[in-house]
């Protein structure tokens, strides 16, 4: 028996069992009066020459103890499902719908990796999981590659948290190769179509008229609009300031829930003072802005379905939806030479990455214009 000391109180004990087989035991203090230790047996590959065995075993012992010393031992028996459940509970900054979506995705991956211990998860295990997920049939169709990769994104978020907490040394999801997916082209109404929609809104009830007006002019998400209160609006001398801090979400089995915005942050958006008249058409008998004639809040789905009917009446693209108005807002700002950082802040994005990936066409047009400047 011989020892490879790394710290005075944490020593790896290496016991030779045969010519190329060694047992490594490491200790990491005590918990509730019981010594915390972990052991594993390694076999030195035949490719390692006899003179290099000691060095190989010493390196493996040091690596094993380093991971153990960082606290991995305490969670040695924690499965992915156990850790993921706790992780999900801690994500209080996300909107209820976002947390619910993460929960549904985790439920899908649990049958594949839920019972596997965190430290045993390897990239090949996750690759096999994705291979099986690609065979899933939902509503009669094979799920899209984008959806498959969304499952991996959530798994990666859980594993990144485990790495941050020094439970695992690496996030295996980071090493899973994925086929490159082309971003779907966004269906965005043109300025002329937006004018058509605004004209058509004159025939709608005030609650619909104001809702879609704000969607177009502020880029707010569906749930954020539904959660707006009159106290969130401040009419100043030259502009109207709207504070966006809450969102209403439809959560399966729980109905409508009010929580924070999608990224958990509060932001402000502004309207020109000329929009004051649009606000005054909606009655103020309730704390909330978007209520029906009885003072009850209007369900978000109602606005979605109503707008679809308006699109149909106008003969617009059948792929347009409520979120298309938000796409228009972002695109109009980018075409108007508003910097990406400001647009991202107004839209409630954490950074400019999504804008650069999804709304690149204004930049492409500028590049084309620049190319035309140089003529041969």
The C-alpha atoms of residue 57 and residue 55 are separated, in whole angstroms, by 6
**pLDDT score, position 8:** 32
The C-alpha atoms of residue 197 and residue 34 are separated, in whole angstroms, by 71
Q: Give the CA distances from residue 11 to residues 3, 40, 60, in Å, rounded to whole numbers and listed in that order.
A: 7, 14, 13
Q: Give the CA distances from residue 275 to residues 124, 175, 218, 256, 280, in Å, rounded to whole numbers and listed in that order.
A: 56, 51, 11, 29, 9
The C-alpha atoms of residue 217 and residue 220 are separated, in whole angstroms, by 8
Q: What is the pLDDT along the chain (376 residues), one digit of tens a residue?
A: 344 433 333 468 899 999 999 999 887 666 566 666 778 899 999 999 999 999 999 888 888 887 666 555 566 678 999 999 999 999 887 778 888 899 999 999 999 999 999 988 999 999 999 999 999 998 898 999 989 999 999 999 999 999 888 788 789 999 999 887 655 667 889 999 999 999 999 999 999 999 999 999 999 999 999 999 999 999 998 899 999 999 988 776 777 788 888 888 899 999 988 888 888 877 677 899 999 888 888 999 999 999 999 999 999 999 999 999 999 999 898 888 888 888 889 888 877 776 766 665 555 555 555 555 665 5
**pLDDT score, position 64:** 81
**pLDDT score, position 69:** 62
What are φ and ψ of residue 154, in 5° steps?
A: -70, -45
Tokens of 237: 């001398």
Tokens of 155: 């798994």
The C-alpha atoms of residue 290 and residue 233 are separated, in whole angstroms, by 13
Summarised one tens digit per residue, pLDDT across range 260-311 is 888 888 999 999 888 888 888 776 778 999 998 888 889 999 999 999 999 9
The C-alpha atoms of residue 285 and residue 291 are separated, in whole angstroms, by 9
**pLDDT score, position 63:** 81
Burial of 192 from C-beta contacts in 10 A (0-12 / 13-18 / 19+): exposed
Cβ contact 248:258 at 8 Å? yes
């Amino acid at each position: 028996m011989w020892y490879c000391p790394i710290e005075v109180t944490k020593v790896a004990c290496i016991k030779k069992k045969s010519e190329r087989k060694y047992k490594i035991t490491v200790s990491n203090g005590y918990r509730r009066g019981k010594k915390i230790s972990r052991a594993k047996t390694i076999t030195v590959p035949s490719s390692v020459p006899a003179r290099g065995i000691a060095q190989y075993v010493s390196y493996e012992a040091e690596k094993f103890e380093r991971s153990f010393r960082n606290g991995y031992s305490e969670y040695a028996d924690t499965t992915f499902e156990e850790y993921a459940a706790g992780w999900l509970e801690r994500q209080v900054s996300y909107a209820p719908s976002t947390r619910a979506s993460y929960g549904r995705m985790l439920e899908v991956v649990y049958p594949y990796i839920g019972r596997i211990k965190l430290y045993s998860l390897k990239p090949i295990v996750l690759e096999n999981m994705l291979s099986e997920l690609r065979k899933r049939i939902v509503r009669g169709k094979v799920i899209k590659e984008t959806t498959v990769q969304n499952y991996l994104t959530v798994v990666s978020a859980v594993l990144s948290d485990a790495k941050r907490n020094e439970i695992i040394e690496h996030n295996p999801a980071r090493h899973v190769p994925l086929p490159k997916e082309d971003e779907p082209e966004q269906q965005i109404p043109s300025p002329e179509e937006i004018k058509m929609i605004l004209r058509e809104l004159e025939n709608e009830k005030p609650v619909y008229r104001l809702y879609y007006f704000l969607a177009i002019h502020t880029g707010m998400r569906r749930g954020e609009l539904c959660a707006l209160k009159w106290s969130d609006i401040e009419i100043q001398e030259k502009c109207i300031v709207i504070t966006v801090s809450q969102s209403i979400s439809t959560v399966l089995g729980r109905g409508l829930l009010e929580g924070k915005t999608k990224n958990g942050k509060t932001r402000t958006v502004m309207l020109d003072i000329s929009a004051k008249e649009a606000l005054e058409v909606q009655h103020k008998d309730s704390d909330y802005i978007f209520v029906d004639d009885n003072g009850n809040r209007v369900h978000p789905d109602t606005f979605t379905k109503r707008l679809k009917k308006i699109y149909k009446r106008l003969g617009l693209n059948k792929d347009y939806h409520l979120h298309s108005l938000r796409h228009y807002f972002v695109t109009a700002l980018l075409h108007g030479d508003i910097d990406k950082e400001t647009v991202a802040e107004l839209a409630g994005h954490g950074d400019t990455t999504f804008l650069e990936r999804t709304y690149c066409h204004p930049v492409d047009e500028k590049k084309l214009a620049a190319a035309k400047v140089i003529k041969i």
